[in-house]
Amino acid sequence: MSHEILCVGDIHLGREPGRVPTGLLEERGMRRAELSAAEAWKRTVREALRREVCAVLLAGDVVDSDDGFLSAYAPLAEGVRDLLRAGVAVIAVAGNHDTEVLPRLAEEIDGLRLLGAKGAWDDALVEADGAPIARVVGWSFPKRHVQQDPLESMPADYAAGRFTDGVQVPVIGLVHGELDATGGNYAPLSRKRLESTRYSGWLLGHVHKPHELTGERPLGYLGCLSGNDPGEAGARGPWIAKLDGGQLALEHLPLAPLRWEEVEIDVDGAQSVEDLERCLTHALKELDARRRSAGCAARVVGVRPVLVGRSALPARRRAEVVRKARDQHYPGADGATYFFDRRLRDLARPLVDLDELRRGTDPPAVLAQLLCDLESSHPGCRALIERTRGRMQDEVDHSNFSALEPLDVTREDARLALLKSARAALEELLEQRSAQESAATDAQEVNA
């Protein structure tokens, strides 16, 4: 007989998406809270009740921060209460964001079972109709920063799948940490150690991008429950785990109320503002069709446009068109609303023959030479790319950003930044040259 368990990655209760335009919310008669992590959790609880699952598993960072007790208490307590009334167990581990607050909440909320408190491995049986169907083994962050692999402290019997009660059922590992990391502050997890346990699956929290979670013994990240910013693009939501004959199979449920997408928009052949506007609306229609076919339940979809291809419109004009498009909101076929994010990635190339242009000696030719070298990653550009990377890294490391997670600027980041600047400069130079040539032609006609 098949049984189901609902599995949830990072929720971050207390967090609301700040990049959704206020005008869109007012136009739709919505509150920002209706797109929040708390709303995603409510949807998850409703889905668990609808499916009559046996348990709900929470993989850490349930709460956004350790000072978020009050903001998390009401939605978490309400959800746990509704699940317990239906006979659904709720089992959680703490992550690096809720190291202190989740244990406090577990003490206050009856029925919220916290595994691995204070960094000591623990387990709980999941039952259906009074009989055990699975065992969940978990570990919680004992403090915000953990440099040691949690599996190094796992009891040998746990690692071997031996438990004192003698119950033989599929075992699911639940832990928060950095998979495949060789060090760091967020519980580096060795894939080899995880696989050596021979558990039916390992469900991980911490990284917000979900893994595929396929195969005979799924191992990887559940991802965040709902994307809060454009950096968390793609489908988000809980996973349904089906247990059948000892096998664990997972399916992603895109239930998040807010979705973010980075969409490539091909501007090939766009000769005018009207052409580019058609490219934008066509891309939204295609995205809407894909989203609906995948069963996405989002009410609002934020789109970060990435312009690709070759266009006769200069970068400045392209940016103006996209800036204008940001002021509008676009209806989907199922009632969802789309909007363009304020950040544009313009990778479009000038509609010129760079190989021909680079043969000259004037400034456009010099820029064309640089562009060709950057596009092909020519060795002659290495020093320029490295200097640029260093300056970008200096900006990122500025004390103004010390409260944010560390970020390493790569050579590829620097190369793309140089390409963008060089293309924009070339387009401006060509536009200036064209204007000068037109003025000269007009002057000749007047003097003729």
Q: What is the pLDDT of residues 226-242, one digit of tens each?
A: 998 999 999 999 999 99
> For the chain, what is the domain count?
2
Average of per-residue pLDDT across 403-423: 87
Q: Which of 326, 335, 268 is nearest to 300 (CA)?
A: 335
pLDDT digits (tens, 9 = 90+) for 79-126: 999 999 999 999 999 999 999 999 999 999 999 999 999 999 999 999
What are φ and ψ of residue 408, in 5° steps? Answer: -100, 120
Query: Can you tell me the distance from the alpha carbon of 286 to that of 348, in angstroms, rounded to the nearest whole number?
Result: 20
| One domain, residues 202 and 343 | no
Do both 215 and 99 map to the same domain? Answer: yes
- Claim to verify: residue 241 and residue 267 sit in the same structural domain: no
Give the residue from 203, 228, 252 where a domain finishes.
252
**Domain final residue, candidates 196, 225, 252:** 252
| pLDDT (0 to 100) of residue 340 | 96
Percent of the chain with pLDDT strictly greater than 90: 77
Dist CA 121 CA 301 (whole Å): 40
* 389 Cβ contact list (under 8 Å, min separation 6): 409, 410, 411, 413, 414
Q: What is the pLDDT of residue 427?
A: 83
- Domain identity same for 330 and 398: yes
Tell me: do 436 and 297 sit in the same domain: yes
Instruction: Based on the fold, state whether residues 310 and 339 are members of the same structural domain.
Output: yes
pLDDT in tens, 292-319: 999 999 999 999 999 999 888 888 899 9
Q: 405 and 336 share a domain?
A: yes
Examine the fold and report which residue of 226, 252, 278 is the final residue of a domain before the chain moves on.
252
Claim to verify: residue 27 and residue 132 sit in the same structural domain: yes
Q: Under the phi-then-psi rule, with left for phi > 0, alpha for psi from -120 to 50, and beta for the rest, what region is 223?
A: left
Residue 368, pLDDT > 70, answer: yes
Q: Give tens-digit pLDDT for 425-447.
A: 888 888 887 777 666 666 666 66
Q: Are residues 371 and 229 in the same domain?
A: no
For residues 310 and 226, membership in a common domain is answered with: no
Instruction: Tell me what the mean pLDDT of segment 154-165 comes to.
Output: 94
CATH number for 201: 3.60.21.10
Share above pLDDT 70 across residues of the chain, in percent, rounded to a whole number: 97
Statement: residue 357 has pLDDT above 70: yes
- pLDDT at 387 > cutoff 90: yes
Output the average pLDDT for the chain. Answer: 93
pTM: 0.86
The sign one gets for the Cα dihedral 298, 299, 300, 303 is: positive
Residue 264 confidence (pLDDT) above 90: yes
> 41: part of which helix (H) or strand (E)?
helix 37-51
Residue 339 belongs to what domain range? Answer: 261-444
Q: 346 and 240, same structural domain?
A: no
Q: Looking at the structure, tell me whether residues 247 and 268 fall in a common domain.
A: no
Rounded to an integer, the average pLDDT of 68-76 is 94
- Residue 416, C-beta contacts closer than 8 angstroms, at least 6 positions apart: 347
